[in-house]
Amino acid sequence: MVNPVLLIAVPLGLAFAIPVLSLFSKRIAKFVPPIALSFNLIVSMLLLPKVLEIPLIVSIGGWRPPFCINLVAGPLGVLFSAIIALVGLLVSIYALDYIKEGATEKYHMLYILLLTGATGVVLTGDIFNLFVFFEILCISSYALVAYLRERSGIESAVKYLIQGAVGSSLLLIGIGLLYGLFGTLNMADIAQNIKSASPVSVFVPMVLIITGLGVEAAIFPLNAWLPDAHSSAPSSISAILSGIAIEIGLYAVARVIFTIFGAQSFLLFLALLGILTLLVGEMCAFSQNNIKRMLAYSSIGQIGLILFALAIATSYGVTSGLFQLVSHTLSKALLFLATGYMIYQTGSLQISDLEGMGKKMPLACLAFTVGAFSLVGLPPFIGFPSKFLIIRAALATKETYFCVLIGLALLGTVIEAGYFFRVVQLLYFKGGKINPGPKEAPVTALIPMFIFVVLIVVVGVYPKLVTDVLNSAASELLSRTEYIKAVLGSIL
């Protein structure tokens, strides 16, 4: 039996081994992240079939829950840790050649720490532990945004840091209030006792926690940092921030609302916020000239759509939300990776400078096209089944509220198609200036892109591959009593 603690302990150990290793050789550092993340991928894959039957509860320190810090490796947690490890592994292979300047060993150390924090957030069953892992994720991403030490990177890292730090303080106040109310930090234990407190005294910590997490999840009024940070980070980091970091924030919001508070009435408000986030993101993306800012705003839009789908809160709705989350992670990571080398070769972030790149970098442009079509939701790619499921879930509720909102979401998708098709058209059908030079990306960049493309097409053609896992992950989110029983079962 593999212990889920290894998913956190091994990468953490390897991350802190990097400074020691780089004393001997500067070149070792960049091979550590692929090793750590392939280990995580293998362990998650080994755990996945087991946790689909029964969630694994790991108590740390030999105490029983709720007195110890515990890890809950349910279908949802292990699914997320597998996705984090998969995307992290592919992006770390990409970074082997992409990251050449600066203190590379620090880059690789922070990179592993970021992904370890993300894995910790999805596996933990203790709300303060969630805060700690969340901070590991946030602090390493602040540092990585500023990695290139350019003007724009530093400026956006400062913005990101200030907003993120205020957000995590709010989160900590919320956790303190919850501890004052219930005298416990275990999520299952809080969930069990939540009914015993008065609604008002629960509402205040809930709002504080959701606001705090919402900063990282980039929910609409709290997302001012995102386009700056995602567009000025190195492209490999943009891929991880867009593909993983904001999704983890969203996971934490969903976990807090569904499992801890069980707040059904709050969800209607979140659905509205989701659609607002979607429309704001897509409209801003439409008017961008900078390709990475366009992708960053598109991430805001996709986050809104996922939030909306999760807030439908039926079994269909949550499944489709998680599916959209997986689809966004794969497609957006691919888009940022493909864009990374286009920018590297042309030396410009402007969309208009990418004219005619389809002939000079055919493979990278093909990858970009697949990612763009998948995000828009064209049939052979993964975006199609996920968006289709969201629409079906919204219509299946038979409530006017959700039907109107899904109409607005479709409007957002049309805008999205508008700006993505414009870029794809520019890549292939415009002559472009005759500037010598742009060559195809190196093999270490093409292999991860190829794997992403294969995954996007295969899952898009045959969505049954993932829907079973997503279904049980969704039922873990929706059934609070099962979760409480699984964690505290030995005591009750």
Partner 1 sequence: MSFLNSYIYYIGAFGLILIGLYIILVKHNLIKVIIGLGILDTGVNLFLISVGYITKGTAPIFSRSGIDSERMVDPVPQALVLTAIVIGVAVLALALSLAIRLYQHYGTLNLRKIREQKW
Q: Which residues bind partner 1 (CB under 8 A)?
A: 128, 132, 135, 139, 142-143, 146, 149, 151-152, 154-159, 161-162, 165-166, 168-169, 172-173, 175-176, 179-180, 183, 185, 227-228, 232, 284
Q: Least CB distance from residue 208 to partner 1, whole Å? A: 11
Q: Least CB distance from residue 209 to partner 1, whole Å? A: 13
Q: Least CB distance from residue 53 to partner 1, whole Å? A: 34
Which residues make Cβ contacts (< 8 Å) with residue 46, sequence separation at least 6?
2
Q: Least CB distance from residue 229 to partner 1, whole Å? A: 9
Q: Least CB distance from residue 348 to partner 1, whole Å? A: 17
CA distance 89 to 175: 33
User: Which of 165, 451 has the CB closer to partner 1?
Assistant: 165
25, burial (CB in 10 Å: exposed 0-12, middle 13-18, buried 19+) = exposed
Q: Least CB distance from residue 299 to partner 1, whole Å? A: 15
- What values do phi and psi take at 116, rounded to 5? -65, -40
> What's CA 408's distance to the chain center, in Å?
24
Q: Least CB distance from residue 69 to partner 1, whole Å? A: 11
User: Which of 126, 476 has the CB closer to partner 1?
Assistant: 126
| Token representation of residue 400 | 């006017």
Q: Least CB distance from residue 491 to partner 1, whole Å? A: 18
CA distance 28 to 107: 13
Residues 106, 110, 113, 115: is their CA dihedral positive or negative?
negative
Is residue 298 within 8 A of residue 290, CB to CB? The reply is: no
Q: Which residues pair with 186 in a beta bridge?
A: 126
Question: What is the distance in angstroms between the CA of the first residue and the CA of the last residue of the chain?
Answer: 26
Output the CA–CA distances (angstroms, integers) from residue 410 to 306, 312, 355, 461, 489, in the order listed: 13, 16, 29, 22, 43
269, burial (CB in 10 Å: exposed 0-12, middle 13-18, buried 19+) = exposed
Is residue 244 within 8 A of residue 87, CB to CB? The reply is: yes
User: Which of 142, 341 has the CB closer to partner 1?
Assistant: 142
* Burial annotation 251-266 (CB, 10 A radius, 16+ → b, else e): bbbbbbbbbbbebeeb
User: Which of 169, 435 has the CB closer to partner 1?
Assistant: 169
Q: Least CB distance from residue 162 to partner 1, whole Å? A: 6
- What values do phi and psi take at 444, rounded to 5? -65, -20
Q: Which of these, 188, 19, 166, lies nearest to 105 by C-alpha position?
A: 19
CA distance 81 to 39: 12
Tell me the three state secondary structure of residue 56. Answer: strand
Q: Least CB distance from residue 456 to partner 1, whole Å? A: 30
Tell me the three state secondary structure of residue 42. Answer: helix
Is residue 7 within 8 A of residue 15, CB to CB? The reply is: no
User: Which of 150, 399 has the CB closer to partner 1?
Assistant: 150
User: Which of 229, 330 has the CB closer to partner 1?
Assistant: 229
Q: Least CB distance from residue 448 to partner 1, whole Å? A: 28
